[in-house]
Structure formats: C-alpha cells, structure tokens
A = this chain, B = another copy of it.
Amino acid sequence: MDKKIICDIREFNRFYTKVLGLFNNQILGTSYSLTEVRILFEISERTECIANHLVQELSIDKSYMSRIIRKLEREQLIEKKSSTTDSRKNFLLLTKKGKAILDNIHIQSDIQINQLFNGLNDEEINEIVSSMMKIKQKLSKTGGAPVQ
C-alpha cells in the first residue's frame, strides 16, 4: 500500500479519535462509563443476551463484565433471568428505568451529532453518511475489524 494512502488513513484515524472523544466526554456527564453504555445498548439490541456474548463482542474482560453487570443490576437498569435449559447462563434484560436512561443518553448524543453536523446542508450530510456506510461496508469484509 502507498505511503500517501497510509498517511491519509492515519490522519483520518487521528481526526476521528477526536470526534469520538467528544461523544465519550458527553457520556462522562452521565455517571456511566462508555463501556457501561455500550453494554446497555447491546442488551437493548439483543434477545437472549448473556454476559459472555458481550465479553466476546465488546472485548471486555469477563471479571470486569461481571462487576459492571452487578452495578447495573444494583441500580436497577437491568435484570438477570437465568436460563431454564442451562443454569450457567443468565439472560440480561433492560428494565424500564434502564430503557429510559439509555433513551436519555441517546437524546444527548443526538444533540451532539446535530452540533457536529451543524452548518452542513442536506446534500453534504448525505454525502458524509454514505461515505460512512461505504467505509463500514468495505472494512467489515476484511475481518481486520470485528463484524459489528
């Protein structure tokens, strides 16, 4: 691969590190860590979600996961329902409160996204989003990055 291309990619990575940093900082205002929010989100998206799936999917240490699950349970954002067919597994579910908090975080995040795109017209926004989709679609194929 060409030096110029590698350089451009690295430049984009530095740039987007900062963009994502903004979002992470916003989450810092919520008394939940980025990892905790990712976990809440994954639980909200999955049916029959168990901790070990998240350990693999999000590359989180299982002991750390265990403690986060306990914290979220204590704060009543999630509930465990142990599997009837395999008592090692606990299905994780968002509570009403958990859903509300995740929704709220998303609303905050929406505001931030709007800020980031502020001043761009619809055509420009569409160009950016389709660029994003193209990057994701192409890079997902390579296996260099986890699938999603």
Contact = CB atoms under 8 A, between A and B. Distances in A.
Contacts of A116: 139, 142, 144-145
B138 A135 contact: no
Contact of A8 (B17, B124, B129, B144): B129
| Size bin of chain A's contact surface | 35 or more
Contacts of A124: 138
Contacts of A128: 134-135, 138-139
Integer count of this chain's copies in the complex: 2
A19 interface: yes
A59 interface: yes
A39 to B, nearest CB: 12
A118 interface: yes
Interface string A101-133: 000001001101111111110001111110111
A148 interface: yes
